[in-house]
């Protein structure tokens, strides 16, 4: 898989499941560019935030050619803006020309927990269409609690290794207790190591940070491309600041109207759809490790493989053995993009011969585990944001047990594991601040929502729902596999999005690409 494309896919991998970085170096300093429309009246500054909106960004070199970095100061608690600050890391690559600069284009890869700066430097600012990069300053801010922006930390590397190996399909009361305790240890570690920032990493707060950055960049409107969870962030911005919406692309959309149980169960069904597509492709090949008769046979063999790992983990060439939980995560990681399917077939074949290294590598990429045994903060931030944004899916183990049959109906292959993974917020140390609700963003400029018909992490029906909720939403459909659609090889999709970003003209309603 192309390294830049691989990074983009993995950065958007988490979606809603409860389930790469260059530091800045000192250099020359410049101020923010002038407003794109100096004669237009500036939007009003929210009460109590004038000093934050008046700060001057001091840009410096990043250690990555062509990029500049800076730090933005935001209130830790927007309800008490005099109660302390949080520092947010920002990076940009200025418009290359030719053509008149349109403004800044913020990007977010999803997660929650994916580093927007890493996504910018490794993909967006070098891989987005040249005509888009020519006319926009490409900009990213790592959301509060993520990567360079005062990251949430929960577990040490060895603790995280142990956490990822805990059996998520418990067979008896002892294993249920072990799994439940692992979630409690994770939550307790977050509180111990990141207790100050933990209550203030919600999507609403991050959306407010984006508006401040918009103003500091000198833009009257926010232009934005968000993928996966980034669509929820973009939609939340539109809800809070509809008059400041510029050109918003929401690719691989989430549905903000669903509660945590519905989100997790429907995402489970999305992964089943993706697995069925993988299996249908696999059984056509003579070397398919899941048989060569039918997708139903492939699913049966996949479940049997997971059960065998549960009983007998296999060697990996690492101190860790491939457990059922790590093997399942490895398979899930390959569901995000069809270009990973050959790698998955090879890894499954090797695992059946007793070598689990291929699946372990896929699992490690999903968890962002580094070769030295440390982890990026992706999983920590993912839980911290999700557990703030919605009330927990389940209050305890009995509720999960009752829900398992519904999850298994959604996905015979992954259902049980996904149901138990959704227990992770039950003992979260900070109460949730968000609730499920429709987002209409009345008064916003046209917003483009993109949905992929066999998207595993953000099912197509979510894009349909979000486009319907948004007062100015326009749905673009990509008939295909994988997570998200823009920049994945469809000229039809890319042309529609590029035209919107460059000219402000949204695609016609009902536009479908393949």
Q: What are the DSSP calls for 77-133, one per residue? A: -TTSTTS-EEEEEEEEE----SS---EEEEEE--TTT--HHHHIIIIIHHHS-HHHH
Query: Is 228 considered catalytic here?
Result: yes
**C-alpha separations of 413 from 317, 404, 421, 488 in Å:** 27, 12, 14, 27
Query: Is 40 considered catalytic here?
Result: no
CA–CA dist 402, 406 (Å, integer): 8
Of 131, 91, 94, the closest CA to residue 108 belongs to 91
Q: Contact at 8 Å (CB) between 86 and 60?
A: no
Among 115, 483, 490, 494, the one annotated catalytic: 483
Residue in this structure with the two tokens 């840009």, named with its chain if needed: 59
- A 10 A CB-CB count for 276 gives 17
Q: What are the DSSP calls for 296-326, one per residue? A: HHHHHHHHHHHHHHHHS-B--SSSS-B-HHH
Among 6, 149, 202, 228, the one annotated catalytic: 228
Residue in this structure with the two tokens 């109207």, named with its chain if needed: 257
**C-alpha separations of 253 from 230, 366, 384, 460 in Å:** 8, 20, 20, 8
Phi, psi of 85 (to 5 degrees): -120, 165
500's CB contacts (< 8 A; 6+ apart) are 247, 249, 446, 448, 506, 507
User: How does DSSP classify residue 155?
Assistant: -
Query: Is 82 considered catalytic here?
Result: no
Q: Is 304 exposed, middle or buried (0-12, 13-18, 19+ CB in 10 A)?
A: exposed
Q: What are the residues facing 251 on neighbouring strands?
A: 227, 450
Among 161, 167, 209, 455, the one annotated catalytic: 455
Catalytic residues: 228, 455, 483
């Amino acid at each position: 898989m192309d390294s830049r494309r691989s990074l983009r896919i993995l950065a958007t991998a988490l979606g809603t499941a409860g389930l790469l970085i260059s530091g800045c170096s000192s250099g020359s300093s410049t101020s923010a560019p002038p407003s794109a429309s100096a004669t237009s009246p500036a939007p009003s500054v929210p009460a109590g935030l004038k000093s934050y909106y008046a700060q001057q960004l001091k840009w410096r070199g990043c250690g990555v050619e062509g990029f500049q970095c800076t730090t933005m100061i935001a209130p830790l608690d927007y309800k008490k803006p005099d109660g302390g600050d949080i520092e947010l890391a920002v990076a940009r690559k200025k418009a290359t020309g030719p053509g008149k600069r349109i403004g800044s284009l913020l990007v977010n890869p999803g997660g929650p927990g994916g580093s927007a700066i890493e996504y910018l430097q490794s993909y967006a600012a070098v891989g987005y269409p040249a005509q888009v990069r020519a006319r926009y300053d490409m900009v990213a801010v790592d959301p509060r609690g993520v990567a360079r922006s005062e990251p949430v930390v929960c577990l040490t590397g060895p603790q995280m290794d142990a956490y990822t190996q805990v059996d998520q399909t418990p067979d008896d009361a002892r294993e249920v207790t072990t799994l439940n305790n692992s979630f409690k240890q994770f939550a307790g570690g977050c509180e111990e190591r990141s207790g100050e920032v933990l209550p203030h990493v919600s999507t609403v707060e991050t959306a407010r940070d984006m508006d401040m950055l918009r103003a500091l960049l000198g833009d009257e409107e926010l232009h934005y491309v968000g993928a996966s969870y980034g669509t929820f962030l973009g939609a939340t911005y539109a809800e809070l600041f509809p008059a400041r919406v510029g050109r918003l692309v929401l690719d691989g959309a989430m549905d903000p109207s669903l509660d945590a149980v519905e989100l997790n169960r429907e995402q489970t069904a999305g992964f089943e759809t993706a697995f069925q597509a993988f299996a249908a492709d696999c059984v056509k090949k003579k070397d398919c490790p899941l048989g060569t008769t039918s997708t139903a046979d492939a699913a049966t063999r996949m479940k049997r493989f997971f059960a065998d790992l549960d009983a007998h983990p296999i060697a990996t060439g690492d101190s860790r053995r491939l457990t059922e939980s790590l093997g399942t995560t490895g398979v899930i990681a390959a569901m995000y993009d069809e270009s990973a399917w050959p790698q998955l077939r090879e890894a499954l074949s090797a695992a059946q011969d007793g070598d689990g290294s291929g699946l372990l590598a896929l699992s490690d990429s999903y968890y962002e585990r580094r070769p030295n045994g440390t982890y990026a903060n992706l999983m920590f931030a993912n839980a911290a944001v999700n557990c703030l944004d919605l009330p927990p899916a389940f209050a305890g183990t009995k509720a999960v047990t009752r829900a398992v049959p519904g999850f298994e109906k959604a996905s015979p292959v992954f259902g049980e594991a996904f149901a138990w993974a959704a227990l992770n917020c039950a003992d979260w140390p900070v109460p949730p601040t968000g609730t499920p609700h429709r987002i209409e963003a009345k008064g916003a400029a046209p917003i483009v929502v993109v949905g992929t018909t066999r998207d595993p992490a953000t099912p197509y029906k979510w894009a349909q729902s979000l486009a319907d909720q948004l007062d100015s939403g326009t749905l673009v459909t990509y008939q295909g596999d994988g997570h998200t659609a823009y920049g994945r090889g469809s000229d039809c999709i890319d042309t529609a999005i590029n035209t919107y970003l460059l000219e402000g003209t949204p695609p016609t309603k009902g536009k479908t690409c393949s």
